[in-house]
Structure 1
């Protein structure tokens, strides 16, 4: 049955050869992992987050290991749109997997400008909005914090692009289903759940935060956040009608299966790329093996199984 397993997934206007993507910020611009990974075997990858102009990021130290994960405060360092277009994208012309451009801005207008600029790049298959960023027009409060702000920035971006539009949501909210529905109402084609959780590490000798940015906090990722992210996918999948990319602590094919059973149509692998550069390849192979072992002919068939079966049983 091995050759008969169908790992393809259809997300409406965005289809994938398999449901495994590399997450933004952990895979560079794809090229960095070419010595370790057959990029053509991936469902796709999300390039490092882009802004209109280059950014230097936060002062060091910017990364620290934590129990079952890591904390980062990179500060969205990137080469900017023009260098990505001229220096990075040409090398991806021979790669067949899906290329997703993650992007961000400090204002609604910057999101619009980035979406419009990225829409001119034929090789870019989809856009992923990172809205876990400070809105400088609203006193620095994150775009993702308020559903009305989410709807405003997503709607403006939707008008600026015809590309498949994914909105990446922050878990640092009271109820992620509220912001998810706001993004859907504003025209998002899909959601990425979730971005990193806010955390801190202190130096036990000095009592000062380990990370070098102004407030000493960073984004927690890795296996430590998987139960949180999985629950948010599970809850959100039951209230929206658009596809979900599950993100958070995925290391194995079984992790990916859990996310898909919770309602994700595909997954993004992040922190695991750091300790095992070939992890995405292992997950793809593992998904096929899992399907064979469990008599699943098509991976899409397990999407949402966890809550659909509970609902059928009236639980």
Structure 2
């Protein structure tokens, strides 16, 4: 991989700027993860972890639409102890040099603090992602992420127990002013930001007259949300110098460059994996030729020119 694609942000020294969005590759144990060498990614983002095991929302949890994917998976996971001792340990054994981002979830603020502390102390996470933006849980998640005071307080509490492990706060688009939430995360001591999470949506089957998801509403993602994501990354970049992991509809090398021009410092790829499990190496392969066409010497240089 050309070093023209190399990116360094807190905790993450990456050969390229691409990582899977949380949940896309589970804990590196989903079927698609065995179909290519994950070392071709810049980093691995784990599925969100909670204190205890949870089974998520009623089926069906995922619906593929013409222009994206609607999901209400919820935070299905085996609990933080199993994630550390089984999932993350085994992944690190298989991919010892690939940076790992562990994602934190919970129902209460104390849940987040507990999970964050355990993940940080495990020594297996290069960075943490504070998921205060999931629209598919009954409590916690997005209910925390829409209130600036809660975001600041929660970020501060998590930072107090995570030592030198950087914390990225994942922002929800389901707010009136995302810059207000970004400022709150920064005030709480965040080392970086991730945005955007899914857009709250609903799709009704006119034949059954029922929602296509078992929970009803869910998070909408895919290429259709990219203009929203790019806009929000741009807005947040105007109010903070924190590193931004941009995401939302990324499918092509051009999408990556567009996010960088808007203010992103790294990129997460999610729904594109429904089309191609190897979406990340596909995108990475096309980046250098596109950069040549556009006269971009390196992604780091592109960041510095902003």
| Range into which the TM-score falls when normalised by the shorter chain | over 0.9
Structure 2 residue matching 1:100: 3-state secondary structure: strand
* Alpha carbons 1:100, 1:127 under 8 Å: kept: yes
Q: 1:136 to 1:279 in 2, by over 3 A?
A: closer
Alignment of 1:1-315 (within 5 A): 6-32=4-30, 33-92=32-91, 93-95=93-95, 96-132=97-133, 136=139, 142-162=143-163, 163-213=165-215, 216-303=216-303, 308=306
CA deviation vs aligned residue, 1:57-79 (integer Å, no higher than 9, x gap): 11111111223101000121111
Partner of residue 313, structure 1: none
* Alpha carbons 1:65, 1:71 under 8 Å: kept: yes
Where structure 1 has 5 or more consecutive residues not aligned to the other structure, the ranges are 309-315
Structure 2 residue matching 1:230: 3-state secondary structure: helix
* Alpha carbons 2:11, 2:126 under 8 Å: kept: no
Cα distance in 2 for residues equivalent to 1:30 and 1:141: 25
CA deviation vs aligned residue, 1:76-107 (integer Å, no higher than 9, x gap): 11111121122212322231211111111111
Cα distance in 1 for residues equivalent to 2:226 and 2:201: 15
* 79-88 or 238-247: bigger deviation: 79-88
* Alpha carbons 1:62, 1:211 under 8 Å: kept: yes
Q: Following TM superposition, by how much is the alpha carbon of 1:28 offset from its aligned partner in structure 2, in angstroms? A: 1.1
Q: Following TM superposition, by how much is the alpha carbon of 1:136 offset from its aligned partner in structure 2, in angstroms? A: 4.9
Q: Following TM superposition, by how much is the alpha carbon of 1:13 offset from its aligned partner in structure 2, in angstroms? A: 4.5
* Alpha carbons 2:142, 2:172 under 8 Å: kept: no
Structure 2 residue matching 1:102: 3-state secondary structure: strand
Moved over 6 A (4+): none
* Alpha carbons 2:25, 2:33 under 8 Å: kept: no
* Alpha carbons 1:135, 1:143 under 8 Å: kept: no
Cα distance in 2 for residues equivalent to 1:11 and 1:263: 14
* Alpha carbons 1:263, 1:304 under 8 Å: kept: no
Cα distance in 2 for residues equivalent to 1:111 and 1:135: 15
* 289-298 or 221-230: bigger deviation: 289-298
* Alpha carbons 1:151, 1:185 under 8 Å: kept: yes
* Alpha carbons 1:261, 1:304 under 8 Å: kept: no
Cα distance in 2 for residues equivalent to 1:218 and 1:266: 26
CA deviation vs aligned residue, 1:270-314 (integer Å, no higher than 9, x gap): 011122001100111111222233332221222386xx4xxxxxx
> Scaled by the length of structure 1, what TM-score is found?
0.90
Where structure 2 has 5 or more consecutive residues not aligned to the other structure, the ranges are none
- RMSD value over aligned CA atoms? 1.9
Which of 1 and 2 has greater Rg?
1
Cα distance in 1 for residues equivalent to 2:8 and 2:142: 35
* Alpha carbons 2:69, 2:220 under 8 Å: kept: yes
Structure 2 residue matching 1:115: 3-state secondary structure: helix
* Alpha carbons 2:12, 2:99 under 8 Å: kept: no
The alignment covers a number of residue pairs equal to 300
Q: Following TM superposition, by how much is the alpha carbon of 1:14 offset from its aligned partner in structure 2, in angstroms? A: 3.2
